[in-house]
Structure 1
Amino acid sequence: MKLSVIILNYNVKYFLELCLKSVEKAIRTIDGEIIVVDNASNDDSCEMVRSKFPKVKLIENHDNLGFSKGNNIGVAMAKGEYLCILNPDTVVAEDTFIELIEFYAQTKNTGIVGCQLIDGKGNYLPESKRNIPTPIISLKKMLGMDKSYYANYLDKDEVGIVDVFVGAFMFLKSKTYNEVGGFDEDYFMYGEDIDLSYKIKKAGYTNYYYGKTSLVHFKGESTMKNSVYAKRFHNAMQIFYKKHFKSNVIFNAVVWLGIKVLQLTKNTKEDKVPLIESTYVFTEKLDNSVAEKLNQPIHSYLDLKTQLSQNSMLVYDCDIIDFKTIISDMKQKSKQVNCVFRFLLKSSNFIIGSDSSSSRGVVEKF
C-alpha cells in the first residue's frame, strides 16, 4: 500500500466529515487508506464515520489519550509506505498527495514534508514552516514577537529546507516515523510536532517545505492570548529542552517572566469579522432550505470569476466545485475583497467555515 492518512478526531464531527470527503477524493487514484482515531468524542463523530464512510478504518478510544498517543495508535494500524498526519479541521486538494509522493521521489534522504496552510479566510498561516525554538525565540513567541519563530527566509510559495512543521499536516515515510519512535507520548498537547520534526532532523534526514500545494486548516494556530495557553506552551517546551538540550534553567526563568507579563496584559485581541452585506453561492441550483440560512441579498452563480462586492460571504458547493479550485479561489479572493468563505455540503445538510484563525469555526445546519 502506498499511503495511510491518519486523522485524530475529538468532537469536530462536521469538520471531520468535510475533511474525509476531501481526503477520499485525494486518494482516489492512490493505493491508500484512511484511518480515523477518535479520542472519546461525544458528538456522534464515530456514528457519522461508520454510516457515511464505511471504507474508513475507525479506532474508538474510550478516553481522550491526547495527540501523541492517539496518532501513534493510528500509525500502528497503518499499512502505507507513506504517512500523512492530518487534522480533522482541514481540507486537502485532489492532487496534494500525488504531488508530495512525486516530490519524495525526486529528493534524497527526505524526512517530513510540509505544505502551505491557509485559514478559513484564505490567509496564509505562518506556522506552515517554523524554526527550531530556542529559549529566546520561544519567549518572543509568547510575547507576540514571533518573526524568528517562523521560517520567514523562505517564501510561502517556495520549496526548500525547513526544520519544524505543525502537526495539522505532516507527510513522511512510515519507516522514518517508526525509526524515531513516532510522537513522544510525554506530550499530551502542544510541542509533540516540534519534537518529532527535531528528532527526524537529528536522525540525519532533511525536512522540506513544499509551498506549491495548499490546504485549508480552519482552526489555524491559537494565538498566545492568555496565561493558560502560555503555561501549556511553557510545559511543552520544558519537556522539549529537557529531552534534547539537557538544560532549561534559563528557559524556565525567561518564560516565567513571560507568563507574568501575559497575566498583566490580558491580551484578548480577536480577528475582525466583516459585516455580511451580500452572499454569493457558487452552485448549479440554490435550494430554499439553504437560502434561508444565508444573508440577503443572495446571488447564485457557477462562474467563480463573477465580480464581487465588499463585505460578502462566498459559499462553495463542494459537489460541484473541486477542492483544489476552492482553495485557490479563497487565496485569490482574500486579497481582493473583504469576505468570508463557506463550504456547502448539500448531501449532509450543513454549511461550514471559519472567520478567524484562532477559533474552531461555525456550522449552519439546514
Structure 2
Amino acid sequence: MATNKTTISIIIVNYKSWHHLQNCLNAINKITLNSISLEVVVIDNTLDAIKIDEFAASYPNFNFYLNSGNNGFANGCNLGAEKATGSYFLFLNPDTIIAKEPILEMYKAIANSPNLGAVSCLQKNTNGSLEKSIRFFPRLSTLFGVFRALFKKRLYKSIRKEKNIMYPDWISGAVVFMSKTWFDKIKGWNEDYWMYFEDVDLSKKIRNSQGEIALLTNTYIIHDHGGSSRINLKTAAITKLEVIISKHVYLKNHFKGFQYFILQTLVVLNTIINKIILGLLGLFLFFVPKLKLQFILLQKVVNYYFLAIKNNTWLSKKSQNFKKNR
C-alpha cells in the first residue's frame, strides 16, 4: 500500500486491543484509493514483541513499532508521526472500522481548506447508534452537567453548521485527520496527558493558532467504544481517575489568574464531595460492582490530590512530561 511518496499515513496506537486491531487492519487492507497512497503505522504500547511479530507477518505492507512503555495515547501518536512519511496524518483508534469513503471525504475537506486544522467524521457504535458529535471546550458553562443543562440552548446555537459539515469546539481522538503542516505548527499532541483530554487540547491548540475544527456529517466510521480500556474494576478505576487528572491538567494549560483558580477549586470540590458520597456507599455496599468501584476511586483521588500538593503539579505520574521533570 505504501509508495515512495505517501499521501496519507494512518497512525494507530494500540494497547492490548489485539482483536479490535485485527478487525481495524482487515478493514484498512481492503481499501484502494486511486492516486492516493496510504501507509499504516501501528505503535504498540503493550510491549508485546511476540504479538507484534505475528501481526507484522500477517500484514507485511504495514509498519509496526514497539513503544518504550505504556507511555499514553499522546506519546504514541507523536511517535507514530515521527515514523510516518505521509503529507497527511489520520490518527485512528484500534477499535474502529473505517472504509474508503470517510478517508476520501476527510482528505478532500482538508486538502481544499488550508485553514482547517483537523477534521473528523461521525462515529457509529456497533449497535448502529451515533455517538455525540457536538463537543464543547471545558469552561464554567460546560464544566458540570448542571451548568451544561442551564446553558444548553445557548451552547448549541454557538455551533456553526453548513451542508454536511459542522464546527464543534473539539473532535474525538478516535478519528482525527490533519495535515503534517498543521501537526508541526502546533507541535503535535501534548504529552502532559497520559489518557483523556489530549484530543480536547489538540483542538484547542489549533483554535489558538487561528485554525478551524470540523466534523463531517455525511460519512462515518464504526467505533466499538472502550475496546481498549473498560476491562475490569482495577482498569476502570485507573481510567476514571485519569479523566479527573486530565481535566485538572487541561485547566492548568488553558486558563490563568482568577478564572483558573475558580475552575480548579470547583473541580476539586465537586470531585471530593461526589467521591466521598459514592465512596462511602461503596464501602457498605461493596457487593455492588459500580459502588465498589467508587470506593476504590475515592482512595485514588485522595492520593492524587495529596501527591499533587507534594509534587506541585497536576500531571499524572504516568505522564511523559511528569517523568521528564523528575
TM-score using structure 2 length: 0.72
Alignment-mate amino acid for residue 11 of structure 1: K
Q: In 2 relative to 1, CA 150–227 (structure 1 residues): closer, same or farther, beyond 3 Å?
A: farther
**1:6 maps to what in 2?**
11
Q: In 2 relative to 1, CA 136–185 (structure 1 residues): closer, same or farther, beyond 3 Å?
A: same
Query: Does residue 1:198 correspond to 2:176, yes or no?
Result: no
Per-residue CA shift, 1:306-365, capped at 9, x if unaligned?
xxxxxxxxxxxxxxxxxxxxxxxxxxxxxxxxxxxxxxxxxxxxxxxxxxxxxxxxxxxx
Per-residue CA shift, 1:278-323, capped at 9, x if unaligned?
xxxxxxxxxxxxxxxxxxxxxxxxxxxxxxxxxxxxxxxxxxxxxx
- What secondary structure does 2:20 align onto? helix
- What secondary structure does 1:103 align onto? helix
Per-residue CA shift, 1:238-260, capped at 9, x if unaligned?
22222221243212222123223
Q: Is the 8 A contact 2:45 2:68 kept in 1?
A: yes
Alignment of 1:148-227 (within 5 A): 153=159, 158-220=164-226
Distance in 2 separating the partners of 1:141 and 1:100 = 34
Tell me how far 1:64 sits from its aligned partner: 0.8
Per-residue CA shift, 1:89-131, capped at 9, x if unaligned?
00012222112122223334111101001112111111x3411
User: What fraction of aligned residue pairs are identical, expressed as a percent?
Assistant: 26
Q: Is the 8 A contact 2:107 2:177 kept in 1?
A: no
- What secondary structure does 1:204 align onto? coil
**2:70 maps to what in 1?**
64
**1:327 maps to what in 2?**
none
- Residue 83 (structure 1) aligned to one of 84, 89, 94: 89
**2:245 maps to what in 1?**
235
TM-score using structure 1 length: 0.65
Q: In 2 relative to 1, CA 119–145 (structure 1 residues): closer, same or farther, beyond 3 Å?
A: farther
- Residue 123 (structure 2) aligned to one of 96, 117, 121: 117
Q: Is the 8 A contact 2:96 2:221 kept in 1?
A: yes
Alignment-mate amino acid for residue 263 of structure 2: F
Tell me how far 1:23 sits from its aligned partner: 1.8
- What secondary structure does 1:33 align onto? strand
**2:268 maps to what in 1?**
256
Query: Mind listing any 5+ residue stretches in structure 1 that lack a counterpart?
Result: 270-366
- What secondary structure does 2:248 align onto? helix
**1:344 maps to what in 2?**
none
Tell me how far 1:142 sits from its aligned partner: 11
Q: Is the 8 A contact 2:20 2:96 kept in 1?
A: yes
Q: Is the 8 A contact 1:110 1:208 kept in 2?
A: yes
Q: Is the 8 A contact 1:4 1:79 kept in 2?
A: yes
**By percentage of residues, which structure has more helix?**
2
Distance in 2 separating the partners of 1:190 and 1:181 = 18
- What secondary structure does 1:36 align onto? strand
Distance in 2 separating the partners of 1:20 and 1:148 = 40
Distance in 1 separating the partners of 2:50 and 2:117 = 36
**1:19 maps to what in 2?**
24
Q: In 2 relative to 1, CA 61–230 (structure 1 residues): closer, same or farther, beyond 3 Å?
A: closer
Alignment of 1:128-139 (within 5 A): 128-139=133-144
Q: Is the 8 A contact 1:5 1:84 kept in 2?
A: yes
Tell me how far 1:39 sits from its aligned partner: 0.6
For these two proteins, the number of residue pairs brought into alignment is 267
Distance in 2 separating the partners of 1:144 and 1:165 = 21
Per-residue CA shift, 1:125-150, capped at 9, x if unaligned?
11x34111114412228999996899
